Amino acid sequence: MAMPLEMAMLLTKTVWFALSGWILTCLSIADEIAGSLRNREVGPVHVLQELRMSYVRNLYQFDMKKL
């Protein structure tokens, strides 16, 4: 069964919107980490700890949004 062209285009735009948001977020975080490491504001250990805590916070916020 074929999908109408309008539906395929809407699905494509929705997926692209979601992926572009993730890509932009990842690039922004990488830029901040690289800048901090370059300026020696933090060391590699601090970055790993912060990423771990950021991941946990995001999981908690995601679970709260589902409720």
Q: How confident is the model over 3-48, as pLDDT tens digits?
A: 889 999 999 999 988 888 788 888 888 888 888 888 877 666 666 6
Q: Would you state the pLDDT for residue 62?
A: 55
CB 42 within 8 A of CB 36: yes
Number of structural domains, the chain? 1
Q: How confident is the model over 5-15, as pLDDT tens digits?
A: 999 999 999 99
Query: What residue numbers bound the domain in which 58 lies?
Result: 5-65
CA distance 2 to 47: 48
pTM exceeding 0.75: no
